[in-house]
Structure 1
């Protein structure tokens, strides 16, 4: 937080109390006295510290007690450099919003006693599946570069409501036969919850889409199960691409329509799963392939007479 060096406040604490007037002054003074606010030199800034003695201060938000999420990550691989987990739906990859301790990153740092763990890539909170973490700073860049250079082959699965007129003998979406490659230009807009599609601009996203099957889910929904191989990794890319093709992902509250905020519906998680990661390890040169152990709850029931692949 940047602090003015001059003004009507005699101390930094007075400025902070006015700045955060929705918080109790006594509680803020307590935090200064406890050494919870520090300057650029990591020295605690006391409650009597004069205005102008620091231009920047650092502090941690205090959050109310978090309810434990009843979903747990599974560790699939651990070595000195890399950790791979199978993330459940509803668990954020990193702290965000009201989730701090209940995030994959914080859980793993505590579980593995490793404060250096850092995600190499991310999944949306609603998406389940594979996430890779760097285990130490000295080799982190090697794994990050794999994603920057698009040298990681990623495979996802999704489940959507089966479109009207679906014919498994001649599978197509929006008049395009499967498999198909969908491309467009997506732009992230500051302060918006959704990305925008810019049809007048050169594509910056690409996804190979094919069908795995169709039929009825265990809940009785008539569904289409798709296979997705993204070549790029833009925010919400897969969700937007399927919505554009007329098969928005079940459980998606952002695409094609932005629905009002609501509590998580644990009965219908977003039906998107990061199923496979494959790459050549930049340190050893060995081939690596990780596969999720999770499934999508609304996938067609195996053996259903109405299920059919494309």
Structure 2
């Protein structure tokens, strides 16, 4: 069996916590120059932008900047910084709750994505942490929705990532959430909700279908007042939007949810009012590398419960 060749180290450092793009030229092809290959390989990038990048020595190979007339060399490696979308800064800070040689645990604010995706690249927890903590190899152990606040775990060393991800895969992490949603006195709680959830690529909302369950959530009522309730949610599986979908299916959609039960028109990028009232509140597990038990608790609160007047006013 032929062993896969190891990717060489990038000559370009991360920028704002974001890795440069890496391309490897095909083993053969009709392109006379690197420029010709890039024009065909990157059809969404204007040819003039590629010309400017080569002239400005912005595209580099293993031996330095690539010249505008550089011949095509099969198998050569290239690196460059992609043009990032303009992003509105999320005006809330990450709080680091724990850091050791293996693990970083943070308290994430609402509206900050966990990892770069789509139009959110620099304004993500991963990019911020890589930059501010000077940990360029940091990677997520799991994913927390952009609209959900609370606890998120990151792995310091690439070789340790599998051990922590296995905890989530094998359901060895106990996670609890808090949510604020309408109170339905006729709803019998606590209860366990099971359903089969599918999430299609390019479709915002996940949905439930008639099939054997692949998701399970425990839902408890903690308190209620003035038509609202404070819930404790425990996902026993980790499907995308699982808690939001299960709460909506019970007729008590989480306050501030722009997707369930209906997908609402997208708000302006700088509209940070009325965040989704869902919070990853605690996490418990035994460290797979040290054997130490860990328990972390969020320091954040849900405004619709702690200050309903401010929530109603969108403050």
Q: TM-score, normalised by structure 2?
A: 0.81
Higher mean alpha-carbon deviation, 18-27 vs 128-137, is at 18-27
How far apart are the structure 2 equivalents of 1:195 and 1:223? 25
The 3 A distance-change label for structure 1 pair 6 and 205 is same
How far apart are the structure 1 equivalents of 2:285 and 2:29? 55
Higher mean alpha-carbon deviation, 222-231 vs 49-58, is at 49-58
The 3 A distance-change label for structure 1 pair 245 and 285 is same
Shift of residue 158 of structure 1?
1.0
C-alpha contact (below 8 Å) 1:17/1:28 kept by paired residues? yes
How far apart are the structure 1 equivalents of 2:78 and 2:50? 14
Q: What is aligned with 1:256? A: 261
Cα offsets for 1:22-45 (capped at 9, x unmatched): 655443212123444356x68654
How far apart are the structure 2 equivalents of 1:130 and 1:145? 18
Aligned 1:94-113 pairs, distance under 5 A:
94-113=115-134
Q: What is aligned with 2:301? A: 295
C-alpha contact (below 8 Å) 1:225/1:300 kept by paired residues? no
Higher mean alpha-carbon deviation, 228-237 vs 18-27, is at 18-27
SS in 1 for 2:240: coil
Structure 1, unpaired ranges of 5+: 217-221, 303-310
Q: What is aligned with 1:275? A: 281
SS in 1 for 2:305: coil
Cα offsets for 1:196-227 (capped at 9, x unmatched): 2112x1100000001111124xxxxx312211
Residue in structure 2 matching 1:215, options 215, 221, 225: 225
The 3 A distance-change label for structure 1 pair 285 and 53 is closer
The answer to whether structure 1 residue 229 and structure 2 residue 240 are counterparts is: no
Q: What RMSD, in angstroms, separates the aligned Cα atoms of the two structures?
A: 2.6
The 3 A distance-change label for structure 1 pair 189 and 65 is closer
The 3 A distance-change label for structure 1 pair 17 and 283 is closer
Q: What is aligned with 2:171? A: 150
The 3 A distance-change label for structure 1 pair 133 and 23 is closer
C-alpha contact (below 8 Å) 1:91/1:126 kept by paired residues? yes
The answer to whether structure 1 residue 182 and structure 2 residue 217 are counterparts is: no
C-alpha contact (below 8 Å) 1:224/1:300 kept by paired residues? no
Structure 2, unpaired ranges of 5+: 1-22, 309-315
Q: What is aligned with 1:205? A: 215
The answer to whether structure 1 residue 246 and structure 2 residue 251 are counterparts is: yes
The structure, 1 or 2, with the larger RCO (C-alpha pairs under 8 Å, 6+ apart) is 1
SS in 1 for 2:304: coil
C-alpha contact (below 8 Å) 2:113/2:120 kept by paired residues? yes
Cα offsets for 1:151-206 (capped at 9, x unmatched): 000000111133xxx33xxxx43xxx21100000011212211222112x110000
Cα offsets for 1:52-71 (capped at 9, x unmatched): 74588554321255332211
